[in-house]
Structure 1
Amino acid sequence: MRIGFAVPQFGVFADPDLVPDLSRALEDMGYDSLWVGDRILGPLAPSDPYPGGDGVMPQQYATHLDPLLALTLAATATERVRLGSSTLNALWQPPVLLARTLTTLDLLSHGRLDVGIGLGWLRDEFTAAGVPWERRGDRLEETLDLLEAIWASETVEHQGRLWTVPASRILPKPAQRPRPPILLGGFSPAGLERVGRRGDGWLATAMPLPHLTGLWSQVLRAAEQAGREPSRLRLVVRVNPTITASPADPAQTFARGTVGQICDYLRSAVAAGADEVFVDPQLIASSPNEFLDLAKEFITNLRAG
């Protein structure tokens, strides 16, 4: 079982001085990977409900560090852990500039980057970024086309609906060849089909296991239909847990329960096909000490199992 944890980034943890020390401590505890998320604002009158809980976006997300700069701080403070985004809303910036930043991060980390990309769910953020909400899937497809060409091809030339790149050399290339792994989020039929057709894996959130395995089977079928080897795709499951002092309803332990119950769920997810799980406690921890105490409790429990 590969086990990850969140990079401190949101709410009280949106402090660049915390990122190196806490990231180094997480690596020393034995975590396999560190992960960032992506937000740009907390609207006072949201255009869309938050896709979880009671539909209200947690207030912590209104205070945030840039995900790739936070990941850069984590990279410089660590030596071994993989570094991922779950998920990066890649549609908010031109692919050529995004490729440059991600290439630099992969080189800086000596090839430890996992590029996790999602479409986003909040129209207000697209409005603020000046990016159309409509045809997000098409925008992502062309973004992936460009990222792959920039990373793998000696000469890059692109003429698409959204972007034009004249025949050029774009150097350097990432440390990982032909490119860093690309993991995709998404839960719609089109999103799951895209994961199977184009991604190196699926970034899922914790949910009841029958639902998780049902969606994962859609990804694997799409990979097979695209002529790809389904067994080469990775399933990464993220949990933002609510920790309870006493045992919670077993049907809810994908989201809430004791640390032991949450860990039991994560072990069950691995048994059902997940390659990696990671925990983000930034919605429940109130201090760096509590953040690290939870990290220690989770990895001790998960490794013991």
Structure 2
Amino acid sequence: MDLGLHALGIGTGSERAVIDAVSLAAEQAGFATLWAGEHVVMVDESTSSYPYSEDGTIAVPAVADWLDPLICLSFAAAATTSIGLATGVMLLPEHNPVLVAKQAASLDKLSGGRLTLGVGIGWSQEEFEALGVPFGRRGARTAEYVEAMRVVWRDDVASFHGDFVNFDNIRVNPKPLRNHHIPVVLGGNSESALRRAATWGDGWYGFNLADVEEVAQCASTVRRLCREAVRDPGDLRLAVALVDPQSADIGRLADIGIDELVLVASPPDDPDTARAWVADLARQWNPVLKSA
């Protein structure tokens, strides 16, 4: 099982020197992936319910710095040479898919083919309203956006016609390095989110799951939905972040078939201290992971 780190882009993790320090230290320590999430807009008071906490509120203060994940990960890429880079997650229906396809392929090329595009449909109606994007049908919009992006990545001259995206005979370069493909991982823990992952995703990123039992339930659902969609469940990469991960969870997660445990934490604001913080995490977790 791999170990990922979701620590960049927010608050102290949005500082350039800390991004450099955490990224390089994580690579040297053997972490598999650096993850960075997204919100374009935050509001002081929201009527929308955050789906990853019991009280429906997000822990990140509205006043916190929150970097664009592709820009944040481009700095992480420049500081490293081999560690994976993943958006966890980008709220895809809030963006133009042709532009995202170009931005993602650009980062993939500059990083040497290290990008995984984690996407979600979003939950904040206020955010969609501020961006002028309809909140309704965002699941269908996300699916079509991914389909259109894959056409852009695959074809030298691309055309696509759908309910939300239309273009004819366009060239969008560069192309992703890995056979004109960037893995698209779906975020979300609901059955509808798991169905998206199983039906057309390359993987699933379960975020803020309560415990291993919830992970097992979600993983079982993904595999059932894969079989219903006539897909091999083994073709999907499964990554999860737990509310309070413990070393005792590792063996059970491996038995469930989880490919990556993602640690979610905020780094210290001093680069030297941040490097030591990553090293402490590695000492705590890497020996356990290697023995799993």
TM-score w.r.t. structure 1 length?
0.87
Contact conserved, 1:183 with 1:203, CA < 8 A, in 2? yes
CA distance in structure 2 between the aligned counterparts of 1:264 and 1:189, rounded to whole angstroms: 27
Gap change, CA 1:289 and 1:41, over 3 Å in 2: farther
Gap change, CA 1:182 and 1:15, over 3 Å in 2: same
AA matched with 1:223 = C
Residue 227 in structure 1 maps to residue 230 in structure 2: yes
Could you list the structure 1 runs, at least 4 aligned residues long, displaced by more than 6 angstroms after superposition.
none
Structure scoring higher RCO (CA < 8 A, sep ≥ 6) equals: 2
Residue 111 in structure 1 maps to residue 113 in structure 2: yes
Cα offset, 1:291, TM superposition: 4.1
Residue 236 in structure 1 maps to residue 219 in structure 2: no
TM-score w.r.t. structure 2 length?
0.90
Who is 2:262 aligned against?
A: 278
Residue 301 in structure 1 maps to residue 291 in structure 2: no
Who is 1:196 aligned against?
A: 198
Gap change, CA 1:272 and 1:285, over 3 Å in 2: farther
**Secondary structure of 1:231's aligned partner:** helix
Superposition map of 1:89-238 within 5 A: 89-205=91-207, 206-238=209-241
CA distance in structure 2 between the aligned counterparts of 1:272 and 1:179, rounded to whole angstroms: 27
The answer to which of 48-57 and 145-154 deviates more is 48-57
The answer to which of 80-89 and 265-274 deviates more is 265-274
Structure 2's unaligned 5+ residue stretches are none
CA distance in structure 1 between the aligned counterparts of 2:238 and 2:138, rounded to whole angstroms: 23
Identity %: 28
Cα offset, 1:290, TM superposition: 5.2
Who is 1:246 aligned against?
A: none
Contact conserved, 2:21 with 2:271, CA < 8 A, in 1? no
Task: Provide Cα deviations, 1:17-74, integer angstroms capped at 9, x if missing partner.
Answer: 3212321121112211111011123311112233315433224463211111000000
Contact conserved, 1:10 with 1:60, CA < 8 A, in 2? no
CA distance in structure 1 between the aligned counterparts of 2:191 and 2:138, rounded to whole angstroms: 14
Contact conserved, 2:21 with 2:272, CA < 8 A, in 1? no
The answer to which of 286-295 and 62-71 deviates more is 286-295
Structure 1's unaligned 5+ residue stretches are 240-254
Contact conserved, 1:89 with 1:117, CA < 8 A, in 2? yes
AA matched with 1:103 = A
